[in-house]
Chain A
Amino acid sequence: MTTNSVATQVDQLRGNSQSILDNWIAGQKTAGASRPDLISDADLKRQCSELLTTFIEALASGTTDLSQPAWERTRATLRSISLSRARAGWTPSETVQFVFSLKQPLFASLQSQNGAPAAANSAETLELDHLIDRLGLFTADIYQQGREEVILRQQQELLELSTPVVKLWDGILALPLIGTLDSERTQVVMETLLQALVETGSTIAIIDITGVPTVDTRVAQHLIQTVSAARLMGADCLISGIRPQIAQTIVHLGVTLPDVVTKATLADAFVVALDRLGRQVVAKGQATASSR
Chain B
Amino acid sequence: MERIPIIKIGRYLLVTVQTDVQDNVALALQEDLGNRIIASRARLVLFDISSLQIVDSFIGRLIADIAGIARLLDAEVVVVGMQPAVAITLVELGLTLNGVRTALNVESALAMVGILDPV
Contacts and interface: CB of A to CB of B under 8 A. Distances in A.
Contact of A233 (B92, B104, B107, B109): B104
A230 B103 CA distance: 10
Contact of A234 (B91, B92, B102, B118): B102
B84 A194 contact: yes
A234 B82 contact: yes
B11 to A, nearest CB: 21
Contacts of A234: 79-80, 82, 101-104, 108-109
Contacts of B84: 191, 194-195, 197-198, 229, 233
Q: Is the interface of B mostly helix, strand, loop or mixed?
A: mixed
Range of interface residues on chain A?
20 to 34
A171 interface: yes
Interface string B91-108: 110001100011111011
B105 A232 contact: no
B80 A198 contact: no
Contacts of B91: 225, 228-229, 232
Nearest to B97: A232
Given A171-B119, A277-B119, A229 B104 contact: no
B87 interface: yes
Contacts of B109: 234
A64 to B, nearest CB: 45
A278 interface: yes
A229 B94 CA distance: 11
Query: Which of B81, B82, B91, B104 has most chain A Cβ within 10 Å?
Result: B104
B39 interface: no
B104 A191 contact: no
Interface residues of B, number: 24
A202 B79 CA distance: 16
B30 interface: no
The listed residue with most A CB atoms (<10 A of its CB), out of B79, B81, B96, B119, is B119
B90 interface: yes
Nearest to B102: A234
B88 interface: yes
Interface in A158-198: 170-171, 190-191, 194-195, 197-198
Contacts of B85: 191
Contact of A228 (B79, B96, B108): B96
Nearest to B117: A278
B83 interface: yes
Nearest to B82: A233
Nearest to B111: A203
B56 to A, nearest CB: 14
Interface in A193-240: 194-195, 197-198, 201-203, 225, 228-235
A197 B97 CA distance: 20
A99 B87 CA distance: 49
Contacts of A170: 119
B87 A232 contact: yes
A223 B101 CA distance: 22
Interface centre among B82, B90, B97 (most CB of A within 10 A): B82
Nearest to A227: B91
A190 B80 CA distance: 20
A197 B88 contact: no
A200 to B, nearest CB: 9
Interface of A: 170-171, 190-191, 194-195, 197-198, 201-203, 225, 228-235, 277-278
CB-based closest 5 A-B pairs? A194-B84, A234-B102, A229-B87, A234-B103, A232-B87
Interface of B: 79-85, 87-88, 90-92, 96-97, 101-105, 107-109, 118-119
Given A198-B83, A203-B104, A229-B91, 5 more contacts: A198-B81, A231-B102, A232-B91, A233-B82, A278-B118
